[in-house]
């Protein structure tokens, strides 16, 4: 099967098989899930990842959510859009939003998403979970000034939302900022 070093303290064959299967499964999952490297933790905002492929996926995600109605999304696009969301979830939320709000063609789609209760609540649910994760890692305030500069919004106006963990109004503010 695989040439994997097995713990010699495991006595029975069943336990060895389970041990090997778990190692193989974890290696496969590690290849699928993008886990940031240890040295990535002290990056500048510009060094945070966001590839051209990520940008295409974000564009597709936001455009699809903005254009289509609830039923069309549920019946024809839900699976594809959830897959895209999962694929870009590794991005820092500011890099995700930065791409959206620096592109004039995506801003109207965010307005459409925010105007629809169904779209807004689903988008905010995923977004809030990601913001909570990065907040726990203390990775929001350190990049706030650079993010605000990227989307052309004064950082001092965004800071209270981050401190209060008010993700909904944070997103609302940058969506409706002129």
Domain boundaries, the chain: 1-33, 40-176
- CB of 57 closer than 8 Å to CB of 99: no
> In sequence order, what DSSP letters do the residues of 97-146 get, joined into one string?
HHHHHT-TTTHHHHHHHHHSHHHHHHHHHHHHHHHHHHHHTT-SHHHHHH
The pLDDT score that the predictor gives to residue 41 is 60
At 150 the pLDDT is 98
CB 113 within 8 A of CB 120: yes
Question: Which residue numbers in the chain have pLDDT < 70?
Answer: 1-41
For residue 74, the model assigns a pLDDT of 86
pLDDT value for 5: 54
**C-alpha closest to that of 140 among 123, 158, 121:** 158
9-37 burial code (b ≥16 CB/10 A, e <16):
eeeeeeeeeeebeeeeeeeeeeeeeeeee
Position 21 scores a pLDDT of: 63
pLDDT at 42: 81
Predicted TM-score (pTM) of the model is 0.76
């Amino acid at each position: 099967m695989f040439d994997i070093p097995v713990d010699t303290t495991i006595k029975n064959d069943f336990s060895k098989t389970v041990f090997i299967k778990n190692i193989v499964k974890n290696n496969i999952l590690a290849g699928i899930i993008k886990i940031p490297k240890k040295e990535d933790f002290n990056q500048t905002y510009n060094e945070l990842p966001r590839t051209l492929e990520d940008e295409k996926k974000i564009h597709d995600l936001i455009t699809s959510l903005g254009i289509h109605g609830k039923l069309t999304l549920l019946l024809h696009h839900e699976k594809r859009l959830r897959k895209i969301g999962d694929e870009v979830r590794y991005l820092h939320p500011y890099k995700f939003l930065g791409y959206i709000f620096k592109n004039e063609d995506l801003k109207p789609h965010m307005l459409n998403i925010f105007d629809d209760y169904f779209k807004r609540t689903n988008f905010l649910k995923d977004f809030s979970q990601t913001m909570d994760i990065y907040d726990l890692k203390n990775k929001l305030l350190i990049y706030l000034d650079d993010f605000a500069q990227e989307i052309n919004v004064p950082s001092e106006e965004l800071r209270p939302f981050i401190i209060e963990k008010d993700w909904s109004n944070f997103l609302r503010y940058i969506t409706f900022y002129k």
